[in-house]
Amino acid sequence: MSELNYQDFMKKVNDFLAEMPAEDLRVLLAKWASKVQPAERYEFLGRLTISQENELDGQSEKELLGEIAAFAERVTDGDYCEGWGWDEEIQEERDWGDESWAEEMDQFFLKARRFLFQGNSQMAETVYKQLFEILAMGEESGHLPGDPDYSNLLTVELKEQVALLIRAVYLNARTKRRAELVYAAIQEYGYLTRGILLVDIVNVGDTVLPQWDNFLPEWIEFLRKQPGLQVSALLREAVLLQGGIMAIAEFARRNPRVYPAAYLDWIGELEKNGEEEAVISVAREALVAMPRDYAIRSDIAMKLVRLGEKRNDAALKLEGYRHCFSAKPGMGGLLDLYCTAIAQGCWEEVSNETAQRVAELQGKREETYANNWNSELQAAYAPDNVAVHVWLFGGKYEKVLALCKNKDSLGWSGGGNPKPAFIAFILSALAGEKPYSPLLSRQLTNVIIDFSFQNEKGGMEQYRQIISVVNNFLPIAKNELDYYVKWCVDEVGKRVDVIVSNQYRGSYGKAANLLAAMAEGLARRGEKNEAIALLEKYRSKYPRHRAFQSELTESRKILSTIKFI
């Protein structure tokens, strides 16, 4: 469940109180009071005193600013820090020491908020800016110990505090400079949270911002003149706030190259209204209007996929997956596309189309039309791990072997090395329609994980389905298969040698499993003697490496249970 913003929260509370009879409210409070622990009873009674909230505990502005100045001095002097070291829980180094600074910071934030809600926006802005300056000290070691992510230490929500500061800036600014000052505050403090929009500034309070109707057109005009990466979200939001769905539709149609995400805003409004046919129509329009290499087209296309799933419309789902992969080639998308195409009886057509698209994108690396940090304008590219499987599934084995050239026998984790994928593919092809052994399943699982498939179990099922189709459509000629199997045996041997001879004990299990899986592959094609000879070769080669011998024995036990050797 998403968090409730302050405005909606207070509305629900006030609606609740308006409908509740006074006697029922007294009963409710008494029930809550009966559950309060002894140590918390004075605090509970304090919360029932309305004057305490209104008077800020009787503290003057000067006294509060003095406390914050003293707090800042303690942070500057490193009074809370005791040292720097590794934290196992967050898996990185950090400052260690007294983390009570976060509790003090929480209280200061709450007092700033109280000033704002009591109408003293000038004081609130001053306090907030000082507090954020103190937080900024934590970017360097020796000041704020604890988790580097402040949100894990503070009780208050940081995004709400940033929104409250910008609300104070809005209230304090002169009309002519309001847009400029609000934008500057968003630029300066937006890094503390994930995206601050006008709606956050509006919803963080329970009163309407003054001169709001006049501000929106001025805000839009101001944003149109600004460079930078954060302008798009703010501008699109403002257009939608001012003119609704018709305005964002017109804006999207006028700016498909500069602000393509406007189409997603438009579709989002249609989805809120349950207008599924309109979503399909606008998504198709967007895919025509946007440049073909914009990666954001993938997000648009997923709207077609989701509606295809909802409506059990396989053709619509396939249409979406085709556009998805073309815009943002990925392993999960490739499997989804191919399996959907198989179900629709057009795998060969889609396979050829996909191979052509990957060939077009090979060599590109996250290029963009404007700036690498602007995800809205990021261009499509084909990662090597995707290309490897497109070539494998398309029978272009020579292309995969070309990618394998000069690749190491180590560093197979992470999906950057195509060798394990090619070996697993050949072993899977040798298995055919027969059940996979635990050895082969383990090899394929490693490839699925390392090559970033979205779901291990689903990935395995999809992978096997595609290999079955490939074997039927593109059977490997015997002389070619002989060559590929020999290549795999050589590469498996090189990997075992480099692991065991260099005593990488943590990888002995991987080496033994891979060797046994290769032996299984040989046995599956009727080369039982060769399989036994392969295992014995490495058992004899490393007789003193007991840990490796033990792992190899375990792997051979698996082979014996499935009666391959």
pLDDT score for 351: 94
The percent of residues above 90 in pLDDT, for the chain, comes to 59
DSSP string, 322-352: HHHHHHS--HHHHHHHHHHHHHHT-HHHHHH
In sequence order, what are the residues at sequence separation of 6 or more whose Cβ sits closer than 8 angstroms to the Cβ of residue 344? 314, 315, 318
Give me the mean pLDDT over the 370-380 stretch. Answer: 70
> To the nearest 10°, the Cα dihedral for 152, 157, 158, 161?
-160
Give me the mean pLDDT over the 286-309 stretch. Answer: 96
Residue where the block lists tokens 């296309």:
301
Judge whether 459 and 336 are in contact, CB under 8 Å.
Answer: no
pLDDT tens sequence across 495-505? 999 999 999 99
The percent of residues above 70 in pLDDT, for the chain, comes to 89
Q: Give the span between the Cα atoms of 127 and 72, in whole angstroms.
A: 12
- Three-class secondary structure of residue 50 per DSSP: helix
For 162, 392, 410, 448, 508, the CA distances from 451, given in Å and listed in that order, are 39, 14, 16, 5, 22
Judge whether 305 and 320 are in contact, CB under 8 Å.
Answer: yes
Give me the mean pLDDT over the 77-99 stretch. Answer: 91
The residue among 90 and 392 whose pLDDT is bigger is: 392
What are the residue boundaries of the structural domains of the chain, listed by start? 6-80+95-209, 261-377, 404-561
State yes or no: pLDDT of 6 exceeds 50.
yes
Report CA 540 to chain centroid distance, whole Å. Answer: 48
In sequence order, what are the residues at sequence separation of 6 or more whose Cβ sits closer than 8 angstroms to the Cβ of residue 192? 132, 135, 150, 158, 159, 162
pLDDT score for 370: 42
DSSP string, 528-548: HHHHHHHHHHHHHH-TT-HHH
pLDDT score for 41: 65
pLDDT score for 51: 46
Assigned CATH class of 261-377 = mainly alpha
pLDDT tens sequence across 56-81? 556 789 999 999 999 999 999 999 99
Query: Encoding tokens for residue 102?
Result: 């976060």
DSSP string, 258-290: T-THHHHHHHHHHHHTT-HHHHHHHHHHHHHHS
Give me the mean pLDDT over the 400-420 stretch. Answer: 86
pLDDT-derived band at 151 (thresholds 50, 70, 90) equals: confident
DSSP 389: H
pLDDT-derived band at 4 (thresholds 50, 70, 90) equals: low
pLDDT score for 114: 93
- Three-class secondary structure of residue 553 per DSSP: helix
pLDDT score for 436: 81
pLDDT score for 456: 54
In sequence order, what are the residues at sequence separation of 6 or more whose Cβ sits closer than 8 angstroms to the Cβ of residue 38? none
Inter-axis angle of helices 508-524 and 528-541, nearest 10: 160
pLDDT score for 53: 44
Q: Give the span between the Cα atoms of 83 and 236, in whole angstroms.
A: 46
Give me the mean pLDDT over the 106-126 stretch. Answer: 95
pLDDT tens sequence across 447-456? 877 776 545 5
State yes or no: pLDDT of 169 exceeds 60.
yes
Give me the mean pLDDT over the 85-114 stretch. Answer: 92
Mean pLDDT of the chain: 88
Closest of 97, 217, 113, 94 to residue 167, by C-alpha: 113
Query: Per-residue b/e over 205-231, b at no fewer than 16 CB within 10 Å?
Result: beeeeeeeeebbebbbebbeeeeeebb
The residue among 188 and 228 whose pLDDT is bigger is: 188
State yes or no: pLDDT of 230 exceeds 60.
yes
pLDDT-derived band at 410 (thresholds 50, 70, 90) equals: confident
Amino acid at 288: V
- Three-class secondary structure of residue 81 per DSSP: strand
